Amino acid sequence: MKKARSPIQSAGALTVITLSSLVCSSRAQETNSLASPFPSQLHPGGLETAVGEPAPIPVNPLVTTPASRYAASSESATPVLGAPPFAVAAAPAEGQAATETALRLGPLTFRPHADYAFTYGTGINSSPGNQGPAALHSISPGLLIQSKHLSLDYTPNLVYYTKGNFENTVNHGANLLAVFGYNDWQFQISQGYSKSSSPLIETGTQTPTESFPTLLSAHYHYSEKTSFDFSLTQLVENAEEFSSYIQWSTMNWVDYLVSARTKLGVGVGGGYVNVSQGSDMSYEQIQGRIGWYPTPRTRVDLNGGVEIRQFLDVADVSDLVTPLYGIAISYSPFEYTVLSIQGNRSVSTSILQDQVTDSASIAGSLNQRLLGKLNLSVSGGFRKTDYISTRVTTAPSRTDDYPFVTVSLGAKVFKKGNLAVAYLHAVNDSTLSEFAYDSDQYTIQLGYHF
C-alpha cells in the first residue's frame, strides 16, 4: 500500500477555528443519506448531531467563515444527519453557553448531553444505482468536560436502520482543545477523532471513514492595526475500501485594520498530500480577504485567491490552477431575524482513486424567532462538484449538481431540552447516472444538554 492522503483544508487564521469544525472539515466525502435539514451543529466532540438546540437569533450574528478563507483544499459536503455545511445556519445566541453547571469538581465542569433523532427519507443510495427508502434511529449520548483552558468531549452516535439496505453502526467523535495566551500571543492546540459509516454521495454507498485532525495555530497582535495568524495542520483520513491519505498544510495571514469597521488581509500557504491510491500532490495558495462591518447588524466577509496544485507521481500532467473564493454575509434587520448568504469554492482530494474534486457552492437562509419560543429556519442553495482525474486534468470525469431546500422548526423545552422537526428536499443530478438521486427527508429530534 502506498502512502495515505488527505483533503483537509490548509487552515489559516485558525485561531477562530474550533476543533469540531476541523473534524467536520476532515470529511472530504459528501453524505448522500438521510441528511436531515436541521442546521448542522457539532458537539465539541466533533460528531454531527441531527440538530443543535434551536437557539434564539443574536442581534449581531456571526456567519460561518467560508472554508476557502482558510486556504481549504477540501470541504465537507453534507454531514451525517445534518444539512450541507454550505447551508447557512443560525448562529448561537450571544451568551448561549450554559451558565448553570451540571457538576463542578475543582476547575472542571462536567456537562452531559444527549440527542435522539428519527429520520425517514426516500431516494437514498445503498449502492451506486440502487435508490430506495430508508429510516433510522440515531442516539447520541455524550459528555463535555471543560476548564479555563481545556475542553474535552466524547460523543458516540448509535445508528439503527429500520428500513433500507444499510448496516447499523456506532460512530464516534472525540475532541481535545487547548487555548491559552502569552503577552500578545494567543495559541490553540487541538486533536480530534471521528469514526463513522454513512452513505456518501461521492461513493454512492455506505462508507466507513476515520479521521484524525490535528491543529496548531497562533495569533500575534503586533500593534493596534496589524496582526498575524499562523497555522499548521495534519489530517489522517482513512476510508475503508477506498483511497486514504495524510495531508500536512500551513496557511499564514497578515491583517491590517483600515478603520474601526474594515480589516484587510493577505495570506500565503501550501500543503502536501500523501495518497494511498493515486498520485501524491503538493499545492500553493495565495489569497486576500476583507472583513467589513458597516453596521452592528451587518457583517461581510469576503476572500479570494488561487490554488496551484501539482501531481507528483504522473508525467506530462499540467498543474491544476483553480480560483478560490469565499463569501459570508449576514444581516439582522430585527432583533430575532437573520438573513445570511454563504458561498465557497475549494479543491479537495477525493477518496476515489486518482481524483480530486473542485466544488463551488452558494446558499442563503432566513432564521426567524416566532412567538417568542419557536425558531424557524428556511434555507436553500446549490453546489456543483467536478471530479477531476489526477492523470488527465483537462476535463472532469464526473459532475454533480446538487440543489437543495430545507425547512426546520424548533423550540426549547424544559429549559435545557429541545424539540425540532425538519424537512429536506435534495437532488443530486450527476453525469454518471448511478450516483444521481432525488430525495425527500423528514426528521424529528429531541435533545437535552446540561
**Which CATH number characterizes residue 160's domain?**
2.40.160
Structural contact between residues 174 and 157, judged by C-beta atoms closer than 8 angstroms: no
Q: What is the pLDDT of residue 393?
A: 65
pTM: 0.79
Mean pLDDT across the stretch 264-290?
94
143 pLDDT more than 90: yes
Measure Cα distances from 308 to 199, 283, 286, 377, 399 in Å.
Answer: 31, 5, 9, 38, 21
268 pLDDT more than 50: yes
C-alpha cell of residue 130? 440502487
Query: Which residues, including other chains, have CB under 8 Å from residue 144's CB and lie 6 or more apart?
Result: 43, 44, 45, 110, 111, 112, 113, 151, 152, 153
Each residue's pLDDT tens digit, 38-62: 333 322 222 222 222 222 223 232 2
C-alpha cell of residue 60? 449581531
302 forms beta bridges with 290, 327
CB atoms within 10 A of CB 229: 23
For the chain, the domain total comes to 1
Each residue's pLDDT tens digit, 63-89: 333 333 333 333 222 223 334 443 333
Largest CA distance in the chain: 64
387 pLDDT more than 90: yes
**DSSP H or E segment with residue 106:** none
332 pLDDT more than 50: yes
Nearest-angstrom CA–CA distance, 359 and 438: 20
Q: What is the pLDDT of residue 317?
A: 85
Q: What is the pLDDT of residue 396?
A: 81
Domain for residue 2, yes or no?
no
Structural contact between residues 213 and 25, judged by C-beta atoms closer than 8 angstroms: yes
- Residue 450 pLDDT class (50, 70, 90 cuts): confident
Per the structure, the complete domain to which residue 172 belongs is given by 14-449
Mean pLDDT across the stretch 200-226?
93
Mean pLDDT across the stretch 232-257?
93
Domain for residue 432, yes or no?
yes
Nearest-angstrom CA–CA distance, 33 and 440: 10
Q: What is the pLDDT of residue 101?
A: 55
For the chain, what is the radius of gyration of the CA atoms? 21
Q: What is the pLDDT of residue 394?
A: 64
Mean pLDDT across the stretch 318-325?
93
Rounded to the nearest integer, the mean pLDDT of the chain is 79
Q: What is the pLDDT of residue 313?
A: 86
Q: What is the pLDDT of residue 347?
A: 92
Domain for residue 4, yes or no?
no
Per DSSP bridges, beta strands 437-449 and 417-430 are antiparallel
Domain for residue 7, yes or no?
no
Domain for residue 1, yes or no?
no
Structural contact between residues 111 and 393, judged by C-beta atoms closer than 8 angstroms: no
